[in-house]
Amino acid sequence: MRKTVCYLQGVAPAATSAPEQGLASWGETRVVGKSIPRVDGYERVTGTAVYTLDMNLPGMLHTAIIRCPHAHARVKRVDTSAAEKMPGVRAILHGETPVAKIGWYAGPNGPTSWLFDPHCRYEGEEVAAVAAETPEQAFDAARSVVVEYEPLPFVVDMQQAQNAGAPAIHEGGNQPGKPEVYERGKIDAGFAEADAVLEQTYTTSTQIHTPMEVHCSVAQWEGAHLTVWDSTQGVFDMQQELARSFQMPVSSVRVINAYMGGGFGSKLDLGKYTVMAALLGRMTALPVKIALSREDTFRCVGNRPANILTLKAGAKKDGTLTAFSMQILGTTGAYPGGASSAYLVMDLYRCPNVRTEETAVYINAGKERAMRAPGFPQCAWALEQMMDALAEKLGMDPVELRLKNVPDVSQVRSGTPYTSSGLSRCLSEGAKAFGWKENFAKSKGEGAIRRGVGVAAGMWGWEGEANATAILKLYPDGSANLNIGCSDIGTGTKTVLAMVVSEELGVPVDRVQIEHADTGTTQYSPLSGGSQTVVANTPAVRAAAIAVKSDLLALAAEELKQPVEKLALREGAIEIEGPAGRRVPLQELKSLGECRVLVGVGRRQPHPKNKVALPFVTHFAEVEVNTRTGEVRVLRMLAAHDSGRVMNRLTYDNQVFGGITMGIGLATTEARILDAGQTGKMVNRNWHDYKLPTALDVPADMTSLPIELADIEANNTGAKGLGEPVTIPTAAAVANAVRHATGLRITQTPINPLQLVQRLAERRKEG
């Protein structure tokens, strides 16, 4: 009979009470902050990693979706009689299928639309789905489904959609809601006291997320329980939205996400395809896989919406900002969503008088979805070019102008102070490292090939949710198992979490097994997005590790008959301090063996309520413009980031370089092109026609400069968000560099050769 020890009273209180672990700082770190390769690198590169698309279940059916070929149409009739007789076909769903008459719950609010709405509002909208034994059979059968459409007039231009006679996309018209207005101070007085007032309209193109891994779901029913494997950024959000779709208890839905190849926000909401997989699974009593094509991911699962931003700014001679006024027109696509964000204008710089007005409009195109820092790169495109223009007007250095206006507090939060703000340091240390002064002074060279430098700053405006829970199990051999609900969407979250455990317990990272992102078996974490993944989860993991350590030291103190203060856990051993000091490897700790497993529970603790923890950023760009061809080459980027503590320098830099790449895409090549004249269709719906920057399009010379303020007030690991800030100012910095190189202010993304050559020609004509 085994001895029953392991009654540890102190465990959980230690794990959750703030004074003991909540906001403590690490001293010098052994693991955290170092460059550690991904713990799942082997699985990812050898192909043993099972992505949702790799899932195969016995008897699993495959699916093809029939999509509306018109930008705007009404479905008159769906005839499935021929398709039903095709080989391997097991079920067909469309708007007249009784079970399919359900709402589509994407996002936290009520149904966004019907699952199959006979009123198709964009080209690509779902009309029917076929499940068959093989993907080929499903595809063939889908081609045999006859759909009769009544095409309707369409509108794909934001401004045209606002016109009185424009085709109505929804019954209530083309405006999803009232314009969103923010106001502080006295805007007219602000402009009145300004020495310089500038106004400019900027426009951004629609950018597509298009993550490497296409959207995919596998659904399986067991009795009244539904399990869905999904390529999703938030299993708990999917679970809740599926439960609402099917009117089931939340606990009867299980959502699992294993390996994932990117999301960028396009995998935050429940997809119609996921609901279809579940419905087809219920109809056939078989598992069903549904995977989107690359083309589908371009048309149907989100985008960063185009914005038209008119910004008016006032400043005194010394550079003090006096007023900002901004109007943004954005489109949510064919369904409600978020079209824009004026946040940066409200809060990045100290400015007493601000008014912003954001208007959204429907067009006949795929719905937007939150895309990496939704709204912020667009807003930065306007604001940071305006700051550049103001500096020019006032004869100030653009870095100096920004430095002059760095705020101490969050103005949009009524003056709440930041737990830390590295914006000034990002600007000044970034400028120094980049060689800003020298380059800005010298590079207005002549000749056909011109070089220029540009700067742009930014911040991210959301702290994220807080209620993540982590469970850590320590085994007697010193290996550990971490249970946490977050998705690793490809950013290396698992590696960072393992490093936190390693730091705290002295366990090598490869001995930390991580089970994650499964609503059935892991604990709640908020969705992996909005730069909250590391911020929400690492503190909970550290708290759990501290709880385990506290238990372990208590056990060791009892067994070794030593006061607990004399014991330390280092590198898989208990070290007894003092003259009679010795090392006891965990394997030799008998009481640990008897406990079998030490379980620690950790939650993220809130930081002080009267503060706000946000990340800051400044990007510096150097470009070369060929004034004959209009080609822009980004030669060099330096990214100075205050995202609090750097958790893993390797994955940190990867995030920075990835964000810059996306920003360069927005600046120079990416744009959804809709055929406004003939068809309303997206014409560049693939990786050939839609120009994503490749390795050859981004500079080899990219520098990540962490301004490391381990933010001990933000949380117990000191990290702030990184995923969003990395892409916010890039495009504006590039545009400012192009201005510096050429004297041209390009207000419209992408800065493509055609646009540049035209503008250069115009200038030549004018000059």
Report 92-111 residues binding a second copy (CB under 8 A): 108
Minimal distance, residue 413 CB to a second copy, in Å: 11
CB of 358 to a second copy, least distance (A): 15
d(CA 55, CA 53): 6
**Of residues 149 and 524, the one with the C-beta less far from a second copy:** 524
Show the tokens assigned to 412.
């949009």
Comparison of 46 and 678: residue with beta carbon closer to a second copy:
46
Q: How far apart are CA 422 and CA 460, in angstroms?
A: 13
Closer residue to a second copy (CB): 1 or 700: 1
Stretch that binds a second copy, among 250-258, 271-279, 665-673, 693-701 (CB under 8 A): 250-258
CB 598 within 8 A of CB 474: yes
Q: One-letter amino acid identity for 749?
A: T
Q: Which residue in 27, 110, 223, 395 binds a second copy (CB under 8 A)?
A: 223
CA distance 682 to 124: 10
Reported residue count of the chain is: 767
Cβ count near 109 (within 10 Å): 8
Which range binds a second copy by CB under 8 A, 10-18, 144-152, 328-336, 681-689?
A: 10-18
Task: Kindly indicate which of the ranges 23-31, 168-176, 223-231, 620-628 contains the residues binding a second copy, using the contact rule CB under 8 A.
Answer: 223-231
Contact with a second copy (CB under 8 A) among 342, 371, 546, 599: 599
Binding positions for a second copy, 63-92, rule CB under 8 A? none
Task: Tell the smallest beta-carbon distance from residue 113 to a second copy (Å).
Answer: 22
State which of residues 27, 28, 46, 688 lies at the interface with a second copy (CB under 8 A).
46
Q: Which is nearer to a second copy, 185 or 606 (CB)?
A: 606
Q: Decide: is 571 part of the binding site for a second copy (CB under 8 A).
A: no
A 10 A CB-CB count for 410 gives: 19
User: Shortest gap between Cβ of 598 and a second copy (angstroms)?
Assistant: 8
Q: Is the dihedral of CA 129, 134, 140, 145 positive or negative?
A: negative
Closest distance to a second copy from the beta carbon of 59 (Å): 9
Peptide bond into 750 cis (omega under 30): yes
What sign has the CA pseudo-torsion 759, 762, 766, 767? positive
In this complex, which beta carbon is closest to a second copy, that of residue 42 or of residue 687? Answer: 42
Strands 307-315 and 449-459: unpaired
Among residues 398 and 600, whose Cβ is nearest to a second copy? 600
Whichever of 429 and 594 has its CB closer to a second copy, that residue is: 594
112, 252, 424, 748: which one binds a second copy (CB under 8 A):
252
Give the phi and the psi of residue 126 in degrees, each rounded to 5: -75, 135
Q: How far apart are CA 618 and CA 387, in angstroms?
A: 13
- Determine the angle formed by the axes of helices 730-742 and 376-394, rounding to 10 degrees: 30
Q: How far is the CB of 485 from a second copy (least distance, A)?
A: 8
Closer residue to a second copy, CB minimum distance, 426 or 612 = 612
Contacts to a second copy from residues 163-222, by CB under 8 A: 222
Euclidean distance between CA atoms 34 and 649, whole angstroms:
5
Six token digits for residue 18? 């703030």
Residue 224 in contact with a second copy, rule: CB under 8 A: yes
User: Pick from 68, 81, 173: which is nearest to 121 by CA?
Assistant: 68
Closer CB to a second copy, 125 or 463, in the complex: 463
Residues 107-166 that bind a second copy (CB under 8 A): 108
Residue number with CB closer to a second copy (107 or 753): 107
Total site size for a second copy, rule CB under 8 A = 72
The CB-of-735 to a second copy minimum distance in angstroms stands at: 28
When binding is defined by CB under 8 A, the residue of 82, 441, 597, 761 that contacts a second copy is 597
Q: For residue 147, list its beta bridge partners.
A: 78
* CB of residue 330 to a second copy, shortest distance in Å: 17
Q: In what order do the strands lie in the sheet with 631-642?
A: 449-459, 616-626, 631-642, 701-706
By CB under 8 A, what part of segment 499-518 binds a second copy?
A: 510-513, 515, 518
The nearer residue to a second copy, 27 or 58, going by C-beta atoms, is 58
Which DSSP symbol is given to 194?
-
Cβ-based neighbours of 660, under 8 Å, separated by 6 or more: 619, 637, 639, 698, 702, 726, 727, 730
Scanning residues 438 to 477, which ones bind a second copy (CB under 8 A)?
Answer: 461-467, 469, 471, 473, 475-477
Structure tokens given for 54: 């790799």
Minimum CB separation of residue 349 from a second copy in Å reads: 21
Q: Are 634 and 698 in contact (CB under 8 A)?
A: yes
Nearest CA among 163, 107, 533, 121 for reference residue 337 = 107
Instruction: Give whichever of 12 and 702 is closer to a second copy, judged by the CB atom.
Output: 12
Closest CA to 33 of 434, 603, 473, 495: 495
| Rounded distance between C-alpha atoms, residue 225 and residue 278, angstroms | 11
Q: Please identify which residue in 25, 30, 37, 56 interacts with a second copy, judged by CB under 8 A.
A: 56
User: Does the protein bind a second copy through residue 19 (CB under 8 A)?
Assistant: no
Piece of 8-16, 344-352, 438-446, 617-625 that binds a second copy (CB under 8 A): 8-16
CB 483, min distance to a second copy, A: 6
Contacts of 279 (CB under 8 A, 6+ apart): 93, 99, 100, 115
Token representation of residue 561: 């008959």
- Our CB check for a second copy shows the closer of 2 and 688 to be 2
Residue window 524-553: x/- pattern of binding to a second copy, with contact defined by CB under 8 A: x-x---------------------------
Phi, psi at 316, each rounded to 5°:
-80, 170
Say how many CA atoms lie within 13 Å of 42 toward its Cβ.
2
* Residue 58 binding a second copy, by CB under 8 A: yes
Nearer to a second copy, 17 or 81 (CB): 17
Which one, 598 or 617, has the nearer CB to a second copy?
598
CB of 394 to a second copy, least distance (A): 34
Query: What track of x and - describes contact with a second copy for positions 619 through 648 (by CB under 8 A)?
Result: ------------------------------
Taking a C-beta distance cutoff of 8 angstroms, is the pair 584, 567 a contact? no
Query: Taking CB under 8 A as the rule, does residue 37 contact a second copy?
Result: no
The answer to whether the beta carbons of residues 231 and 268 sit under 8 Å apart is: no
CA 456 to CA 460: how far, in whole Å?
Answer: 14
